Amino acid sequence: MKYLLNKAGLCFTSCLGGALVLAACGGGATPAEAPAQDPAATPEAPSPAEASRVPAEESAEAAPTTKKFDELSPEEKMAVMKTQVIPQMTEAFQALDAKEFENFRCTTCHGPGANNGDFEMPTKSLPKLDEEEMKDHPEMTKFMIEQVVPKMAAILGEPTYNPETHQGFGCFNCHIKKD
Ligand code: HEC
Ligand code: HEC
């Protein structure tokens, strides 16, 4: 616990400078490339009303992103979200907490605006981040560092945040900083 808080603190200090020291945050451990998947966490029958669901076959066939996400057309961006982000992130979030994230969909990240075509990121619909927020949610912080950031970065065709170059995908591509 203390160790994690220290790591989170370290991370946040650099995050505040616009940086995310993933190496520091990860405690020197290589970010898990293939984290153990809990088969028990596989979602049960999703609600039929869930428009954002994509059949598994479709996601399996999705071509790997060759272009950077930024360079894609709006239609291609939608396709990446549906065929890659939703399946991979649903799996990750439900492995963390199947109940809490039972209904994982576009709005989980984008907020209710997603229903009206507002996909702007970072979004004020997610909890704003500061050191306090991270200390209050150590499990979630660890999950974000080890799973969400590396997985999303890979899907988007971006490196994870590099504090030296200020390039790459990190916490503040989704969350807004609390001030
Ligand atoms: C795990 C979180 C997450 C989920 C779930 C998610 N998105 Fe996204 N989405 C993002 C992030 C992060 C970006 C911004 C990527 C970047 O930094 O360029 C984004 C960007 C977009 C964009 C491009 C916005 C722009 O201004 O170019 C669209 C469109 C979009 N998402 C649609 C969707 C749709 C539709 C769904 C559901 C099928 C969805 N997203 C689910 C995280 C998510
Ligand atoms: C792809 C988008 C995305 C990225 C990148 C991301 N997060 Fe999150 N974060 C989320 C979502 C979605 C939730 C869950 C919100 C909910 O419970 O509905 C969340 C929740 C959290 C929470 C829980 C807050 C609370 O009050 O419950 C913390 C803390 C957090 N994130 C920290 C981080 C940190 C630190 C990073 C960078 C290492 C990060 N996040 C990167 C999408 C993201």
* Ligand 2 pocket by Cβ (under 6 Å): 20, 108-109, 126-127, 129, 133-134, 137, 140-141, 144-145, 148-149, 152, 170-171, 173-175
Q: Which tens digit of pLDDT belongs to each residue from 17-51?
A: 333 434 334 333 444 444 445 545 545 554 545 54
In angstroms, the CA 29 to CA 23 distance is 7
What share of the chain has pLDDT > 70, as a percent? 63
Over the chain, what is the mean pLDDT? Answer: 78
Distance set, CA 152 to CA 1, 40, 98 (Å): 26, 23, 19
Which of 175, 176, 178 to mutate for ligand 2's pocket (most ligand atoms within 8 Å of CB)? 175
Which pLDDT does position 67 carry in this prediction? 83
For the CA of 114, the nearest ligand: 1
The model's pTM: 0.77
Kindly state if the Cβ of 52 falls inside 6 Å of ligand 1: yes
SS3 78: helix
**Residues of the chain under the 50 pLDDT cut:** 1-36, 39, 42, 46, 48, 51, 56-62, 65
Distance 67 CA to ligand 2 centre (A): 26
